[in-house]
Amino acid sequence: MPASRRDRDGRPLCNHLCHDCGLVFVDPPPARDELETWYEHHYRQDYKGVIEPRPHHVLRAGRAALSRLARIRPLLAGRPRASMWGAGVARCCTC
């Protein structure tokens, strides 16, 4: 059962919640070309209200990324060189 049928601006977007693991995911997922177009042309304006990031936002995001890397680096020792978190299809979810 959907947790929500609208995005934060009231546009149609069906979000589901896995009651086993707590994962929130969109179903059906947008097509890859739709996502690429949205991220390339609309994301920053829709979510940040600007066309280009301000320098202090870039610096803050960079510092936050380095902080996350420092926290997970010990967990990555001896593992593949790349890790992706927070995006993609919920393949491990049982719902």
Q: pLDDT tens across 51-80, in order?
A: 888 899 889 988 988 888 888 888 777 766
Nearest to 25 by CA among 13, 38, 35: 13
Find the mean pLDDT for residues 1-11: 86
Measured in whole angstroms, the distance separating CA 88 from the mean position of its chain's CA atoms is: 8
Statement: the pTM of the whole predicted model exceeds 0.85: no
Q: Which residues of 21-39 are buried (b: 16+ CB within 10 A; e: fewer)?
A: eeeebeeeeeeeeeeeeee
pLDDT higher than 80, residue 88: no
